Amino acid sequence: MYPRYVLPHHRPLPDARPALDRLPAEILLEVANHLTSRSHILHLSQVSSSIHAKVVPALYADVELYGAEQSERTLGMLLRRPDVARHIRRLSVYPEHEMSSRPREQTRAWDNAGVVSRCVMKVAPYLDALSHFEWDGEDMLPDDRMWAELRARCPRLQHVGTTFGCFLPRPTSSLFKFTDLLGFSLSLKDGFYAHSLHLPSRGGSDASKSDLVLGLADQESESEPVFTRLWDMLTLHCPNLESLRIAGNLSEPSDATRLYLANWPNLRHLTLGALVWTATVPGQAHTTSDFKDFLERHPTIESLHLLGRPSTNQVDLSTVSPDALPNLKEFTGSFGLLRMLVDRVHPDDSAAAGQPQVQNPTQNQQSSSAPTTPLSKTLQRVCFPHVMQLRDLTPLAISRVLLGLHALTSIKVTFAIQGGYDSNGVFRTLVASCPHLLDMDITCINQPSFFLDAFANSLRGLSRLRTLSLALVRMPGDEPMHIGASRIALANPRLKSFSIAFIPAQGSSDMPSPPIEEGTFDLTCDSHGIPVCLDVSQRYVVLWPWQRRTGAGASLGAGAGVAEWFASVASALGVEGPLILLENSVGVSGVRSGLGDPAMWRALAAFYWGWSTSRQWRYDLRPSGHPDVEQKGLFELLTERSPAGEEARLMMFCLCLLLLTVWALLSKAARGA
């Protein structure tokens, strides 16, 4: 027999992998889901191949595709990698929104929708987890087989979004065959309005007019069956609809009689553009349902967004029952609509108010300044999408409405500053009326509004504020942006992150211009809540001297003549299509097609328009003598990418010039002696 050997006991070798690689996939997914941006998730996935395989579900959970080139490339990759495609839960496709500035064949632009939709159709069998799909095209229609494949191959698809332009789908389209949808979105593009498809019907009898769908055309037109099928799908085959969005690019009203007749018991989110809010003819009895009846039948609505302009086709919400919208948490609309909702009163109260009664003047003033409505305890987020003219609204009117909203935690508002108006006083009114704000977004356009240090002092009243977004026209002589950001951080150390943008001054425009300087700031505090440093990410546009006007609001309207000069040169050279696309009148995005080197045209445009640059650094909020502040040497200060480093390099350059001047004077004196 062979001798029996007993192997000695050996301890298992320690795992040589890094600690992060040894974490289970569930924990890494939780970490990835708590990251705030996709770039952070991407950086986490690039640590190692094992981590990438574990965070793929979070990395590809939400996919947005812009342009035909990116869509074809990404969808082709998903077709080759079904193991990646099966993790996509939300897919948004923008086939005609090119993000790249490289030239592209113009003949392909007309077929972008068909090419991209056929790619989606091929990938549909592998989209097992897809629950949200949005198609945001312009005028061209996608291949109808895409909707058929998504409906048949994606069992979890419950939210669908699409667009209508100058071409409408057929009434037999597979788009109208979805059932049991929880969300539907329809965006009406410019081509839809250019072909007058939004106008109310002028034909048909009174009985047929009750069946109008968004006022799209006469009863004899080909569009009427299309929208009839659409509303039949939503009202008959989607009884559990929770989210509905119908909005367009213009503010011209459209008829929505079929919408007001619908009833969805679980409707929670409603977004509407400019519509004809009532179907009742003046002077006649109320015989049809209107928007007021629709709101009263849907007490489950939590977010209401009315995107029509306040100056046209204003809806009257003051007649809505005070018991309506008991669960409303988010509202988007004009200030007048919010005031109507807040001022709603019961019929008994309004009748009693008409009788002469002796009341205490102080009590009457308090009750009128802070009305108590069901919205006082439920409304948490308010957004005013249109510019508010301060000459029409006083701080007293704003305070009267906002004081009654005790649960308000988020507000977004845009002010148009008028000459001689105290804009800082309006901001102080907002702070006093909404002391419990957690998120605030304020934009002030047209003219310089206030200094950043005055804004920081007014911000001390919002002790619970967590996020802030500020866009304004820079005051002449104001301090640099990062200095103002440090004052804001020191005044409100509970801020987690905030952003500041300097926009150019403008005349009578209703929309804010793109920023010429913007920065994002992340605040870091110590264990005691004392601010330590700011992580700064700043981007600004370098302007030439002839572009600079008073303040930061350099009016770029003079660039129209230069743009016309570029267009004339392009036409002389035989360039087809637009020569140079200037991104929002600031910066250069390149050329799509034309003769010559695209880099040359970008350089020519940059010669006039300037160029944009960005930088990132950490700004220490502690004083220089603090024991925890790292003391930097002269070389580190000269090479530091911060304003302090720039000032040090400028001083060193001036010192060198001074030494050269002294040396020249001394050498000249020595030669003369």
Q: How many CA atoms lie within 13 A of 326 on its CB side?
A: 4
pLDDT computed for residue 244 by the predictor: 95
**Within 10 Å of residue 533's Cβ, how many Cβ atoms?**
18
Query: Given a cut of 50, is residue 200 above it in pLDDT?
Result: no
Question: At 579, which amino acid appears?
Answer: L
Q: Which DSSP symbol is given to 86?
A: T
pLDDT computed for residue 437 by the predictor: 92
CA neighbor of 305 nearest in space, from 268, 280, 342, 278: 268
- Read off the pLDDT of each residue in 374-395 and give the average, rounded to a whole number: 81
Question: In this structure, is the dihedral angle defined by the CA atoms of residues 634, 637, 639 and 644, taken in order, positive or negative?
Answer: negative
The number of residues in the chain equals 673
- Read off the pLDDT of each residue in 186-200 and give the average, rounded to a whole number: 75
Residue 4 belongs to some domain of the structure: no
Query: What pLDDT band is residue 99 in, cutting at 50, 70 and 90?
Result: low
**Can you say how many angstroms the Cα of residue 71 is from the centroid of all Cα atoms in its chain?**
22
Name every residue whose Cβ is closer than 8 Å to that of residue 64 and which is 6 or more positions away in sequence: 92, 94
Residue 257 belongs to some domain of the structure: no
Report the C-alpha gap between 465 and 410 in whole angstroms: 9
Residue 7 belongs to some domain of the structure: no
- As given in the structure block, the two tokens for residue 215 are 């006022």
pLDDT computed for residue 624 by the predictor: 67
Query: Given a cut of 80, is residue 587 above it in pLDDT?
Result: no
Scanning the structure block, which residue is given the tokens 């974490």? 23
Phi, psi angles (nearest 5°) of residue 521:
-130, 125
- Read off the pLDDT of each residue in 292-315 and give the average, rounded to a whole number: 83
Q: Which residues pair with 440 in a beta bridge?
A: 411, 468
Report the C-alpha gap between 575 and 571 in whole angstroms: 6
CA neighbor of 93 nearest in space, from 67, 62, 124: 67
- Give the three-state DSSP class for 439: strand
Residue 152 belongs to some domain of the structure: yes
Q: How many CA atoms lie within 13 A of 222 on its CB side?
A: 8
Weakest mean pLDDT among 133-137, 166-170, 439-443: 166-170
Weakest mean pLDDT among 216-225, 251-260, 352-361, 604-613: 352-361
- Overall number of domains in the chain: 1
- What confidence tens digit (pLDDT) does each residue in 311-335 have? 555 677 888 888 889 999 999 998 8
Weakest mean pLDDT among 49-58, 237-246, 394-403, 544-553: 544-553
Phi, psi angles (nearest 5°) of residue 345:
-135, 155
Phi, psi angles (nearest 5°) of residue 539:
-130, 135
Please give the radius of gyration of the chain, using alpha carbons only, rounded to the nearest integer.
Answer: 31
- As given in the structure block, the two tokens for residue 221 are 């037109």
- Residue 86: domain span: 61-100+107-193+224-234
Residue 437 belongs to some domain of the structure: no
pLDDT computed for residue 281 by the predictor: 40
Query: Given a cut of 90, is residue 122 above it in pLDDT?
Result: yes
- What confidence tens digit (pLDDT) does each residue in 548-583 have? 544 444 444 444 444 444 444 444 444 433 333 333
pLDDT computed for residue 14 by the predictor: 54
Query: Given a cut of 50, is residue 286 above it in pLDDT?
Result: no
pLDDT computed for residue 360 by the predictor: 44
Q: How many CA atoms lie within 13 A of 48 on its CB side?
A: 11
Residue 423 belongs to some domain of the structure: no
Residue 497 belongs to some domain of the structure: no
Q: Are 120 and 162 in contact (CB under 8 A)?
A: no
- Read off the pLDDT of each residue in 535-560 and give the average, rounded to a whole number: 58
Residue 313 belongs to some domain of the structure: no
| ∠ Cα 252 254 256 (to 5°) | 155
- What confidence tens digit (pLDDT) does each residue in 223-268 have? 678 888 998 999 999 999 999 998 877 655 555 677 888 899 999 9
Query: What pLDDT band is residue 358 in, cutting at 50, 70 and 90?
Result: very low
Query: What pLDDT band is residue 618 in, cutting at 50, 70 and 90?
Result: confident
Q: Are 526 and 494 in contact (CB under 8 A)?
A: no
Weakest mean pLDDT among 44-53, 57-66, 296-305: 44-53
pLDDT computed for residue 550 by the predictor: 43
Scanning the structure block, which residue is given the tokens 């026209």? 473
pLDDT computed for residue 178 by the predictor: 95
Mean pLDDT computed over every residue of the chain: 76
pLDDT computed for residue 424 by the predictor: 72
Parallel/antiparallel/unpaired status of strands 381-383 and 330-332: parallel
Report the C-alpha gap between 573 and 558 in whole angstroms: 24
pLDDT computed for residue 289 by the predictor: 59
pLDDT computed for residue 245 by the predictor: 93
pLDDT computed for residue 206 by the predictor: 39
- Read off the pLDDT of each residue in 434-463 and give the average, rounded to a whole number: 88
Share of the chain above pLDDT 90, in %: 29
* pTM of structure: 0.76
Q: What is the DSSP string of 100-155?
A: --S---HHHHTTHHHHHHHHHHHHGGG-TT--EEEE--SSSPPPHHHHHHHHHH-T
Q: Which residue has the higher pLDDT, 351 or 82?
A: 82
Query: Given a cut of 80, is residue 109 above it in pLDDT?
Result: no
What CA–CA distances, in Å, run from 353 to 313, 316, 322, 345?
29, 21, 16, 10
- Give the three-state DSSP class for 200: coil
Q: Which residues pair with 537 in a beta bridge?
A: 520, 616
Q: Which residue has the higher pLDDT, 333 or 629?
A: 333
645: left (phi over 0), alpha (psi -120 to 50) or beta: alpha
Provide the H-helix boundaries in 437-480.
452-458
- What confidence tens digit (pLDDT) does each residue in 143-186 have? 999 999 999 999 999 999 999 988 889 989 999 999 999 999 99
- What confidence tens digit (pLDDT) does each residue in 41-50 have? 888 888 888 8
Q: Which residue has the higher pLDDT, 650 or 12?
A: 650
Burial of 321 (0-12, 13-18, 19+ CB in 10 A): middle
- As given in the structure block, the two tokens for residue 392 are 């029409």
Query: What pLDDT band is residue 76 in, cutting at 50, 70 and 90?
Result: very high
Which of 19-28, 158-167, 371-380, 643-652 is most confident? 158-167
